[in-house]
Structure 1
Amino acid sequence: MRAVWWAIFLMFGLVSTAQAQPASAAADVAALTVSPKLRLHTQLNEDEMTSFLIADKMETDEDGLLILTGNAEVRRIDSVVKGDRIDYRRDTGQVNVRGNGLIMRDGNIVRGPELSYNVDAETGEVNDPNFWLGADGGFGKAEKADIFSRSQMRLSSARYSGCPCENPPWYITSPRVDFDFDDNEGIARNAVLFFKGVPILASPWLSFPLRKERKSGFLLPTYGGSSNSGLEFTLPYYFNLAPNYDLTVTPRYMAKRGVQLGAEFRYLGNGYNGQLTGTYLNRDKLTNERRWMYWWQHRHDLGN
C-alpha cells in the first residue's frame, strides 16, 4: 500500500514540474547550437570523400586490393557502383566490376556485364551497356560506353530513344553518340532516325536534347514536291527564348518559285496565350510578284 502512495506522489510531482516549466524547456530547445566538433567540409578533394563498402564477403590481398563479392557496392555521396564482384583500390579510387555492373550518378544509370570505373576521376568504360538518363531522359544501349567525366560520355554503335519502353515510337542509331549532360545535348554522327521502325532521315550530324526540357536547334527537315512549286525543302530552326515564349524560323526552298522565309512566335501568360505567324517571298519566279502572309491569334481569359 505504501508503494502505491509513493507512486501516486511521484506521478503528480512529475506532472506539476512539467506544467510549471514549459517556457524554460522551450528556451532550452531554442538555445540549441551546433557542436564545435562538427565541421562542414565544403572543399573536399575527390580522393578525400568517404567511400562505404557493402558485400556478402570482403577480402584484402597483400597489395591492399579490396575484393568484394556477393551484392557488392561501393557508395559515395556522389555515385554508386554495384556488381557481383568488385575489386577496389582505395588509394587510386579504381573500381573493376565483374557481373551485373551498375553505375549511378545524378540519377543516370549505366548497366553492363563488366565495367571499369574510377570513383575519384569519374572516368571509365562499360562493355555492352544499357543506359537510362533519369526520369526526364532517354534510354538506349550500345556496344561500349566511354565515360570521360561527370558530364561527358561517348557511346559506340548506339541506339537511343527518348522513351524507356520496349517498342519506342522513334529511335536513333549511330556508330558514335556523344552526350554532354551539362549542355543537355546529344550528338549522333552518321545517324539514322527511325519512326515506327521505318528509317525516315539519315544525317552525318544530328543533335537532340537528353532531357524533356526544350532546346534551341534545328528541327527535322521536310521535303516534297508539287506541280505548282516544284521540288520543296524546309529546314526549321527552333529558338527556346524563355519558358513562356518561343520562336521557330523556317526557310523554305521552292524550285519553281524561290526561297520563302516563315516564322512562328508563340507566347503564354497568366490567363492568355497566342501566336503570331507570317511568311515572306521577295519575288515569286512564276508571277514575278512579292508575296506575304501573316496572322495573329490571341486568346484571353476575362474571368466570369
Structure 2
Amino acid sequence: MHIGLTFFSILFSQISFAEATGTYLQWECTTGENDKWICAQRSVLGKEYPRPNKIETFGIVQEENIENEVVPQVKKASNLDWIDEKDLSDEQLALRSSGCCGAYIEPERNYPDSNLKPEDAPLRVASKSTELIQDNVAYLKGDVNITQGYRQSRSDTATVDQINRTVDLEGDIELREPGVLLRGDAAYMNMDSLDVEINNATYLLHESGARGTAQNLQRPGGDIFYIDDGGYTTCQPGNNAWRLVSSKLDVNPGTGIAVGRHVRLEIKDVPVLYVPWVRFSIDDRRTSGLLFPSWENTEDNGLDFSQPIYLNLAPNYDATFTPRYVEERGEMAELEIRHLSKISQTIFSGAFLSSDDGGGDDDNINISTGKNPQEGEDRWVADIQHSSTIKGWNSNLNYTRASDEDYFQDLDTTTLEVISKSYLEQRGSIAKSIANWNFLVEGSGFQTLIKDGEDQYELLPRIQIDGNFTIGNFDFTLNNQYSDYDHNLASKATGRRLKLDYAASWDNTWEWGYFRPTLKLKHRTYDL
C-alpha cells in the first residue's frame, strides 16, 4: 500500500513575538518534486506565536494567501470522554448500557477529511512552532495536531519524516480513531502501514465501554491491540471495582474477542483469581468466553462475587455457567441453557448452593438451635420457559420453584431473571384451533414466597372449548369452560365449576341504520 503525504501544512509564525488574536501571516508548506518543500504565506485567524529559533532557508514559492482558513484542532479528551448520566442528552441516554451512571461519548469530528480513511486522505499538521532539521524531516513543538482522514493525534512534540513516512510523538499524547481513544507519553506512527505503538498507554473502546492501561501497546495496521503488562475493565473512570491484569493481552474489536495470558482478576485492586490463559468477549456478540463479572458487599453475605462463563455451543443453543462465591454462605453455581428451533424455544435456568453457611447477620440466629435460618440446608431455584408450535398445536410452559420462601431475600440471582419474587408461577397449557373451534387445556399453581402468606389455589385442570359460527345474518358464540380448583389446606373449599356462555345475534345493516338483537344464555354449575 502506498500512501503519499499529499498535503503537509506546517505553520510558522511570521515576525511578532507577542501573542495576539486576529488575522496574521503564516507559512504553508507542501511537497513538490523530488520531495522538496514548496511554501507560501497565508493569513489565518487565531493567536500569533513567536518565530522558532531555527528556520532553514530552502526554496519558497509565493502563492496566493488563503483568507480566514481555520487550522484543524483535535478536541482534548476530558476524563476519557466519560459523561455523567445527568449531562447526557435523551438520545445518548437511550444508547447507554443498563446499570451505568454515564457513558463514553466521542467528540464530534468537524475537521477536513474526517470522513475519509487514512490511506485516502492527506496529512495535515499544525503546531505552535516548527523546525526543519533536514530537507525532509520537520520537528514540531507546542500543541501539535496531526490529522490524516479519521485518524487524529495531539501531542506536545512531533518529528515528521517525509521519506520514511513516519511520525514520532512525545508528551501528553492523544490518538483518536472512530470508537477508539489512545493516550500515552511516547508514540510511533507509520503513515503507510498505519502501524501504531504507544508507551505507558491508556486505551478506551467507546462502544463496549472497555478501557485499560498498558506499559506498551501496539496496533499493527490499525486492527488488533497487542498489550504488554496491561489491564482491562469496563468500570467508569476512577473506579476499578474489578480489573483483569495480564502480561499479554490481545484485544480485537473486529471480532469482539480478547485473549489474555497470565491473567489475574483483581477486585478493588486485590487479586482474587489467576488463570494462565483466558478468552473472553468484549461486546454483545455471541462468542465463548468470560463475561463481565459482578460483585457486591453486604452485611449479611459479605463479598458476593460472580464470574459468568458463556458457551456458544451452536448457532441455535448456548449456555451460561456462573460460579459464584458468597463469603458468608459458601460456593454456589448458576446455569442458564437456551435452545431455539423452527418449532420451539426453551430456556432452562437454575442455581444451587450446598449446605448454606447461614449468613453473617447474628440477629437472625434462632435461640433454641443456635443457627441462622436455612443454615446447613441446600438452597436452590429452578425455572423453565418453553413454547412450541407443531401442526397447529401450541404448547407453553412457565414453571419456577425455589427451595424456600427466603431464597431471593438471602441470595437473589446474579445472572438469572425471575419476574416475580412474591409468587412463583407454575403454568402449562396446550391449545389447538380447528375451523370455528378453539380448544385449550391448562393447569396452574403458585409458590408463595411471602412470610405467613396464604398459598394460592391450584387449577388442575381448566378445559375450554370456544366456538364461533356465522350462518347468513346470524352469529353464534358458544363458550364452554370446565375448571377444577384444589388447595393444599383441608380447611379451604375445593371443587369444580362448569361455565357456559352462549350468544346468538341477528345482524342487519342498512344505509339508514342497523338492527342487531342479541340473545344470551349464561349458566354456572358448582360442585364443592
TM bracket, shorter-chain basis: 0.5 to 0.7
1:160 CA drift (Å): 1.3
- Residue-by-residue CA offset, 1:253-273 (whole Å, 9 max, x unaligned): xxxxxxxxx761178xxxxx9
Alignment of 1:210-249 (within 5 A): 210-211=282-283, 213-219=284-290, 237-239=310-312, 247-248=318-319
Match of 2:167 in 1: 95
**Alpha-carbon distance between aligned partners in 1 of 2:308 and 2:236, rounded to the nearest angstrom:** 29
- Residue-by-residue CA offset, 1:140-159 (whole Å, 9 max, x unaligned): 11211122221112111111
1:183 CA drift (Å): 1.0
**Residue aligned with 1:67, SS:** strand
Match of 1:140 in 2: 212
Whether 1:180 aligns to 2:268 is no
Q: 1:201 aligns with which of 273, 287, 294?
A: 273
Whether 1:60 aligns to 2:132 is yes
Amino acid aligned to 1:158? G
**Alpha-carbon distance between aligned partners in 1 of 2:216 and 2:310, rounded to the nearest angstrom:** 32
**Alpha-carbon distance between aligned partners in 2 of 1:266 and 1:166, rounded to the nearest angstrom:** 40
Alignment of 1:62-81 (within 5 A): 62-81=134-153
2:173–2:184: 8 Å Cα contact kept in structure 1? Answer: yes
**Alpha-carbon distance between aligned partners in 1 of 2:276 and 2:216, rounded to the nearest angstrom:** 20
**Alpha-carbon distance between aligned partners in 1 of 2:240 and 2:251, rounded to the nearest angstrom:** 20
Structure with a larger share of its residues in helix: 1
**Alpha-carbon distance between aligned partners in 1 of 2:337 and 2:238, rounded to the nearest angstrom:** 35
Residues 93 and 296 (structure 1), Cα distance of their counterparts in 2 relative to 1, 3 Å cut? same
Between 1 and 2, higher relative CO (CA 8 Å, sep ≥ 6) is seen in 1
Match of 2:194 in 1: 122
1:235 CA drift (Å): 9.3
2:118–2:151: 8 Å Cα contact kept in structure 1? Answer: no
- Residue-by-residue CA offset, 1:98-122 (whole Å, 9 max, x unaligned): 1111211222111111111113211
1:265–1:275: 8 Å Cα contact kept in structure 2? Answer: yes
1:251 CA drift (Å): 11
Q: Which has the larger radius of gyration?
A: 2
Residues 84 and 196 (structure 1), Cα distance of their counterparts in 2 relative to 1, 3 Å cut? closer
2:225–2:252: 8 Å Cα contact kept in structure 1? Answer: yes
Match of 1:189 in 2: 261
Q: 1:265 aligns with which of 338, 358, 361?
A: 338
2:281–2:289: 8 Å Cα contact kept in structure 1? Answer: no
**Alpha-carbon distance between aligned partners in 1 of 2:267 and 2:322, rounded to the nearest angstrom:** 24
Residues 185 and 219 (structure 1), Cα distance of their counterparts in 2 relative to 1, 3 Å cut? closer
**Alpha-carbon distance between aligned partners in 2 of 1:78 and 1:44, rounded to the nearest angstrom:** 6
Q: 2:384 aligns with which of 284, 296, 302?
A: 296
Residues 119 and 105 (structure 1), Cα distance of their counterparts in 2 relative to 1, 3 Å cut? farther
2:118–2:149: 8 Å Cα contact kept in structure 1? Answer: no
Match of 1:104 in 2: 176
Match of 2:154 in 1: 82
Which stretches of structure 1, 4 residues or longer, exceed 6 Å deviation after superposition? none
**Alpha-carbon distance between aligned partners in 2 of 1:66 and 1:88, rounded to the nearest angstrom:** 5
**Residue aligned with 1:92, SS:** coil
Amino acid aligned to 2:132? T
Which segments of 5 or more consecutive residues in structure 1 lack a partner in the other structure?
Answer: 1-42, 222-233, 253-261, 268-272, 280-293, 300-304
**Alpha-carbon distance between aligned partners in 2 of 1:162 and 1:63, rounded to the nearest angstrom:** 46
Match of 1:171 in 2: 243
**Alpha-carbon distance between aligned partners in 2 of 1:155 and 1:219, rounded to the nearest angstrom:** 18
How many residues align structurally?
216
1:56–1:72: 8 Å Cα contact kept in structure 2? Answer: yes
**Alpha-carbon distance between aligned partners in 2 of 1:101 and 1:117, rounded to the nearest angstrom:** 12
1:81 CA drift (Å): 1.8
**Alpha-carbon distance between aligned partners in 2 of 1:45 and 1:82, rounded to the nearest angstrom:** 16
**Residue aligned with 1:136, SS:** coil
Residues 276 and 187 (structure 1), Cα distance of their counterparts in 2 relative to 1, 3 Å cut? same
**Alpha-carbon distance between aligned partners in 1 of 2:125 and 2:217, rounded to the nearest angstrom:** 25
**Alpha-carbon distance between aligned partners in 2 of 1:60 and 1:136, rounded to the nearest angstrom:** 42
Amino acid aligned to 2:235? C
- Residue-by-residue CA offset, 1:170-220 (whole Å, 9 max, x unaligned): 110111111112111111101011234443321111122233x24321347
Amino acid aligned to 1:168? N
- Residue-by-residue CA offset, 1:21-52 (whole Å, 9 max, x unaligned): xxxxxxxxxxxxxxxxxxxxxx9993x63111
**Residue aligned with 1:126, SS:** strand
Match of 2:223 in 1: 151
2:256–2:285: 8 Å Cα contact kept in structure 1? Answer: no
